[in-house]
Amino acid sequence: MTNRVKLLNIPPPHSEIPSQCPELPPEVYAARLQRLRGRMREVGLDQVVIYADREHAANFAYLAGFGPRFEEALLVVGLSGTPQAVLGTENIDMVRYSVAELEGIHYPTFSLIGQPREDVKSLKDILRGAGLEHGMIVGTVGWKYYDDKDGCAAGSLEIPHYITETILEVVGEASSGGSGTNTGSRVRNATSIFMSPRDGLRIVLEPEQVAVFEYAACLVASSMLALMNNVDVGKTELELASQFQSMGVPLSVHPMLSVGEKARFGLTSPTGRRAKRGDFMTTAYGIEGALSCRAAHIALDETDLPPAAQDWLEDIAMPYFATAAAWFETVRIGIEGREIWDMAETLLPKSKFGWNLNPGHFIAADEWVSTPFMPDSDVKLQSGNYLQYDVIIAPDPPYFGADLEDGIVLADDELRAGIRARYPDTWDRFERRRKYVRDVLGINLGDEVLPMSDILGYYRPFLLSRGNAFAVR
């Protein structure tokens, strides 16, 4: 496909921020709870204890309707009854504002250091009050799960040690002597129930969740397009990053923006460093439900690049865009993860382009849930999957890479009909984006591929040449 990639003067995509953000209704949370309990019965769990903090809240929020601010939290879910949210002082009232059905248990020890600790019950008593009993099989949920490839014991627990030890004590199992245990224990790592690429609860979205995340994608796309339109020589990284807007939606990652040699490591935050002509710029912005990334040169054309890198457009950027276009055209319901991996390796060989992660992943409230795209993966993509094109290349100097990251949802007839009926404005934006991607960018999206972002597939390799972008012809 590389020989069909052209740098053309094309109109930019239309970008808008919807006037309202959809909200998940109580029945969505109730249905999620029932699906979790069905899975608990399948794997033989009596209780599930979900840990959360500010950095790791997605699994908790999936059921609770919020993530903890400042503090730690636990959500204890049994096979019946109302889930128990164990919260610190500043979060205990969040239960009143959640649309999910919860009961709150105040545990001041989850609060910040130095805040009042009057009338603190032991964590053991708290967990017993939440439903844990001697002899039960308990699944803990944090943010990761492990197998033999991870260099630690399969089934190791990743939630804080003091919580693990207390759960072990309550259910009547001897201390593990460390932070881990195995699948034969009464306390087991159950995070895969939520995050497994094969059957995780969170990797299949409801129509309501698609609409909520699409609003987030609109915010991110608008921010990224505004940034691209405002790139100029002499501006600082901080000035450029001022285009990012969240409307108050929580961030999923820290804002990233770098220029010059600093841009070889894309995770860094913006500083007072000023952009120079010919500099490479990399940037990523994500809020809960969406992330977009772009990396390109602050240049008018290849003559602004160092002499040794003036073939960057043809040797690096065009093959990269061709791979992205092929990815968007190839992902579909039923395809196996290894097929996408093989396609990326064929079009963009790792030996030349230096990518060392996966050619995409699942995205949700957290930027990376898990990924089906591995060399040996027989995981089949499903309707409701929210997938991020995310191939990060790092060719050898003097070249810089290229980056274009946006998300799509796979949707069968039933899911498409549900979105169209309940969220007609959202559906209209999907259709507008599809027409742009197909007719202007030349990327033939399948009908089951819903483009979440207004800028999906839109890539300017030279950021000072604002009218020129890649297209397939």
pLDDT for position 183: 56
Both tokens of 44, joined, read 């033989």
Q: Average pLDDT, stretch 332-343? A: 98
Percent of the chain whose pLDDT exceeds 90: 93
CA torsion sign, 401 to 267 to 458 to 204? positive
Q: Please tell me the distance from the alpha carbon of residue 224 to that of residue 13, in angstroms, as a whole number.
A: 12
416-453 confidence digits (pLDDT tens): 999 999 999 999 999 999 999 999 999 999 999 999 99
106-116 confidence digits (pLDDT tens): 999 999 999 99
Helix runs in 318-359, H state only: 318-330, 337-347, 350-353
pLDDT for position 182: 56
Q: Tell me: cis bond preceding 398? Omega within 30 of 0 counts.
A: yes
Q: Please tell me the distance from the alpha carbon of residue 385 to that of residue 334, in angstroms, as a whole number.
A: 11
pLDDT for position 119: 83
Percent of the chain whose pLDDT exceeds 70: 98
149-158 confidence digits (pLDDT tens): 888 888 999 9
Q: Residue 366 is which amino acid?
A: D
68 to each of 45, 255, 323, 324, 466, how far by Cα in Å?
A: 25, 21, 39, 36, 41
Q: Which domains does the chain have, with CATH numbers?
A: 2-20+203-472 (3.90.230.10), 46-189 (3.40.350)
Q: Average pLDDT, stretch 62-74? A: 96
Q: Please tell me the distance from the alpha carbon of residue 168 to that of residue 71, in angstroms, as a whole number.
A: 23
